[in-house]
Amino acid sequence: MALKPIKRVNIAEQVFEQLREQILHGTWKEGEKLPSEQELTETLGVSRSSVRQAIRTLADYGLVETRNGTGTYVKRQISGNYMMNIVPLGDLQTEDIIEVLDFLCLIEDSVAAMAVERCTPSDLSELQEIHSRLLTARDQRDLETLTAVDVEFHSKIAMITQNSLVTQTYALLLAFLQPAMRRIYMTLGAEEGIPYHERLIEAFCSHDAARAKQVMHDHAQNRREKFLATSERK
In tens, the pLDDT along 154-172 reads 888 998 998 988 887 876 7
**Degrees to nearest 5, angle at CA 230 with 214 and 4:** 125
Give the CATH number of the domain where residue 41 resides.
1.10.10.10
85 within a domain of the structure (yes/no): no
The pLDDT score that the predictor gives to residue 91 is: 52
Q: Furthest-apart CA pair in the chain: how many Å?
A: 55
Domains in the chain, number: 2
168 within a domain of the structure (yes/no): yes
3 within a domain of the structure (yes/no): no
The pLDDT score that the predictor gives to residue 225 is: 87
Instruction: Name 88's Cβ contacts closer than 8 Å, sequence gap at least 6.
Output: 17
- What CA dihedral angle connects 161, 111, 103 and 215, to 10 degrees? -150
What is the spatial distance between Cα 222 and Cα 7, in angstroms, rounded to a whole number? 27
Same domain? 184 vs 128: yes
Q: How much is the pTM?
A: 0.66
Same domain? 148 vs 188: yes
What is the spatial distance between Cα 22 and Cα 24, in angstroms, rounded to a whole number? 6
Same domain? 100 vs 210: yes
Same domain? 21 vs 73: yes
8 A C-beta contact, residue 185 and residue 138: no
Specify the DSSP element, H or E, that contains 164. Answer: helix 164-176
Query: DSSP character for 143?
Result: H
Domain span at residue 156?
A: 90-233
Same domain? 114 vs 207: yes
52 within a domain of the structure (yes/no): yes
CA dist list (Å): 123 to 151, 157, 187: 16, 9, 32
66 within a domain of the structure (yes/no): yes
Same domain? 107 vs 137: yes
- Averages of pLDDT over runs of 10 residues in the chain (234 residues) are 50 84 82 92 90 84 81 71 45 73 91 96 94 90 79 88 84 69 65 88 97 96 84 63
Same domain? 54 vs 125: no
